[in-house]
Structures are given as structure tokens and as C-alpha cells.
Structure 1
Amino acid sequence: MIVIFQYLSIILLIFLPMPHYLRESYLASSMLYSLVCSNSMKSLIQYYYDQ
């Protein structure tokens, strides 16, 4: 679900005319968000496997 939302947001970024600095900061925050999500998923999976 998160992946679909990220693809949609990237498509929106391409089609919506945004100021350059806004686009940059939005991309950076979205990449950071996906990184945090993948890291938390990895730690959750690791937690379940360790038990």
C-alpha cells in the first residue's frame, strides 16, 4: 500500500508544476520516509524471526 502511494506521489510530482525547492524537499522527505518504513519493517521481521 505504501509503495503504491509512493508511485502515485512520484507521478503527481511529475505532472504537477511545483516550485523547484518544494519539489526537492518533498522528494527528500518521501525518500527519508520510505527508508524509515523499510528499516522498521526489517526490524519487525527480525524481531519475529528471533523469537
Structure 2
Amino acid sequence: MRVRHPERPDWGEGQVQSVIGNRITVNFQHAGKLLINAALVELKVVEADD
């Protein structure tokens, strides 16, 4: 699944690598692999048409 961080558009699109509870590991184009707390951030899913 491809996502974007709503407050960090400079990170580019990210590929979700794993989801464990509220922890989402995402590999972003311009920020690398980051651990996102889903309780604090609602990542935006990138649709296939985008």
C-alpha cells in the first residue's frame, strides 16, 4: 500500500512495509524508512489513479 504523510509532503510517497498495532513502518521516497504512530498521524492512502 502506498501512502503520504499529511504534514510532510516533502517525504514523498511511502510504501507500507509492516503494521503492528498502531505502529506502521513506511519507506518514504525522500525520508527513508520511518516508524509512524497511527494513534498520532493518519496517513493518506495514495490511490492507483494518483
Larger Rg: 1
Higher helix share: 1
TM-score, reference length from structure 2: 0.25
